[in-house]
A and B are shown apart, each in its own frame.
Chain A
């Protein structure tokens, strides 16, 4: 645990670390107490996240802004691993700040790069805008790199109120294609269906 004075002295001497994706661990460590105060997150199924190596987490989201932060924090507090969240608006000043916290561009080649580097990635389904609606869709192209490279695809069900403090993040086991073998378009489409169905089931069983 670095103290504030450690962080400041590293900043001033230039000896802090920022990685190629723009992630800044000291910056996140400073914001830690703020996040702690804002959200209280209960995590289930953290054992499904591999200890090392790449994986893609697919999570549902509703109409707020909290889900990316909540899921990333949930994974970090239960496994200690950093998640690269796909979907940073590439506009200063908000873009660079989010990149420091681990956000990356929402495009397939970015996801491929993150996975080849052995990192965890987080993609979101389309938003569920109505209360009680089914979980959103996911483009086949978005998940294609994961299936082609061959990394685990983990469903994540997020439940909580946007203005509330208590959130629940439930991570399921690896979702895989039901009938397709190999890594072609059918396998990708079936994996998308499987992960959406898993997330829906986790949410349904909870309520």
Chain B
């Protein structure tokens, strides 16, 4: 099986590539991204291609002729890139790679990293949406994800192949550059909303990787799957679990703290603000049945997030 990974330079992409390298059924493994992978890969081929470079992306995909495309080139605003370039890269990358793959003769399935941000958090929306609740994104990242889903579905329809949309809860972990993760780890004070402390669910990076690998290597599933850690936490609770001091802010949508947080090195994009103010949960039961994954609980994800030391000091003599 020839497998193509987009977004292979990110934490998720690198880990997925590492696990797929060990799968004997994966005969050829290649990937592209704007940054190189974070860890050493043994047999996967990495191509440093900017998603906005359509010519090179398309040429590469056509030459590779993949059986399965794992589209992790979904850029979260303020994770690795700024908000505007994140949306542009996601769109450009989705169109070039998925569009080119749809025209390749060998394509059998597409797996897309999406997010539960596509359900949105409008007033009166369903609290714990299952996959059949209609999408209604209320943040730029949610819209970017919905657009990527549409491009993937369109490509899948054109090529007549199943498309698995993995709608993940916010992925956190010690090495994931998530704006929410950075925000929760601010020390010693983390501003939270005084009036509403809603619940949100998270997904551990290793469970996200496991879900992607399961979707890519087992019988293809056509449709959306919510991949969500069990249970939920509130912002106050998470901050207390991390031993930080929650600072209740009275103000609509915490807008007051955005510039302050940005100065402290933790920019807060609208979808994170929405999570802190309106919560973000989804029903992940179907994914556990279809992919046979068992994501860690949200509380476990939060505890793991705070285990990561901020800076590890190694004295020069010991490092030698």
Decide if B157 is an interface residue (CB 8 Å cutoff). Answer: no
Q: A99-B198, A116-B283, A116-B285 are in contact. Are A21 and B127 (CB under 8 A)?
A: yes
On whether the beta carbons of B196 and A96 are closer than 8 Å, the reply is yes
On whether the beta carbons of A22 and B127 are closer than 8 Å, the reply is yes
Smallest CB–CB gap between B225 and chain A, Å? 15
> Contacting chain B: which of A10-18, A30-38, A135-143, A169-177?
A10-18
Q: Write out the residue numbers on chain B whose beta carbons fall within 8 Å of the beta carbon of A109.
A: 126, 129-130, 132-133
Decide if A105 is an interface residue (CB 8 Å cutoff). Answer: yes
Smallest CB–CB gap between B107 and chain A, Å? 33
Q: Write out the residue numbers on chain B whose beta carbons fall within 8 Å of the beta carbon of A105.
A: 124-127
On whether the beta carbons of B195 and A96 are closer than 8 Å, the reply is yes
On whether the beta carbons of A18 and B130 are closer than 8 Å, the reply is no
Smallest CB–CB gap between A204 and chain B, Å? 35
Smallest CB–CB gap between B198 and chain A, Å? 6
Q: Write out the residue numbers on chain A whose beta carbons fall within 8 Å of the beta carbon of B129.
A: 109, 113
Residues 115-155 of A contacting B (Cβ, < 8 Å) = 116-117
In whole angstroms, how far apart are the Cα atoms of A95 and B240 in the complex?
23
On whether the beta carbons of B281 and A20 are closer than 8 Å, the reply is yes
Q: Write out the residue numbers on chain A whose beta carbons fall within 8 Å of the beta carbon of B198.
A: 22, 96, 99
B282-302 vs A, Cβ < 8 Å mask (1 yes, 0 no): 010100000000000000000
On whether the beta carbons of B130 and A112 are closer than 8 Å, the reply is yes
Q: Write out the residue numbers on chain B whose beta carbons fall within 8 Å of the beta carbon of A21.
A: 127-128, 199, 281
Q: Write out the residue numbers on chain A whose beta carbons fall within 8 Å of the beta carbon of B197.
A: 96
Q: Write out the residue numbers on chain A whose beta carbons fall within 8 Å of the beta carbon of B193.
A: 92
Smallest CB–CB gap between B6 and chain A, Å? 31
Decide if A187 is an interface residue (CB 8 Å cutoff). Answer: no
Residue of B195, B237, B283 touching A113 (CB-CB under 8 A):
B283
User: B residues engaging A (CB < 8 A)?
Assistant: 123-130, 132-133, 193, 195-199, 201, 231-234, 236-242, 279, 281, 283, 285
A sample of 15 cross-chain residue pairs with beta-carbon separation below 8 angstroms, ordered by A number, consists of A18-B233, A20-B201, A21-B127, A22-B198, A90-B124, A92-B196, A96-B195, A99-B198, A105-B127, A109-B126, A109-B133, A110-B128, A116-B130, A116-B285, A117-B283
User: A residues engaging B (CB < 8 A)?
Assistant: 11-22, 90-93, 95-96, 99, 104-105, 107, 109-110, 112-113, 116-117
